[in-house]
Structure 1
Amino acid sequence: MEVFRRLPPPDRRDPCALTIGNFDGVHSGHRAVLGQLRRRADELGLPTCVLTFEPHPREYFAALAAAQDARAA
């Protein structure tokens, strides 16, 4: 597994089967998504790739909203 903290440059972006989401724990819904990703990647002969977010969008947008509220006050 290769982990990128930023999107890799275009010359390092190979074709892949991609899913995007918040994988903060792998519950049955996540397993279903990842299973479908694996099946489709196998059909296409591609590696799998997961794009997730850090911090969690809820944390990011809560901090952003708090900063905007502070400026408005």
Structure 2
Amino acid sequence: MSRRPMAEQEIPYEQAREELIEVVRRLEAGGTTLEESLALWERGEQLATVCQEWLDGARARLDAVRGDEAASRD
């Protein structure tokens, strides 16, 4: 499990995804200092982790439902 602050864990998937898109846009546009670019990169990594955790959780829930359905057919 990651060691993000509690507030990070509460970000909805859609909000994290939109912020990640904005971070990528700013990095691609350039014009930021090295320090700003590094901060954006780090934030992007955090947001990517949040999104991945949401997707992993959704997949686990779907797999659990499929497993329950398969078990009930046996």
Under TM normalisation by the shorter chain, which class is it? 0.3 to 0.5
Q: 1 or 2, which has the higher strand percentage?
A: 1
TM-score, length-scaled by structure 2: 0.34
Q: 1 or 2, which has the higher helix percentage?
A: 2
TM-score, length-scaled by structure 1: 0.34
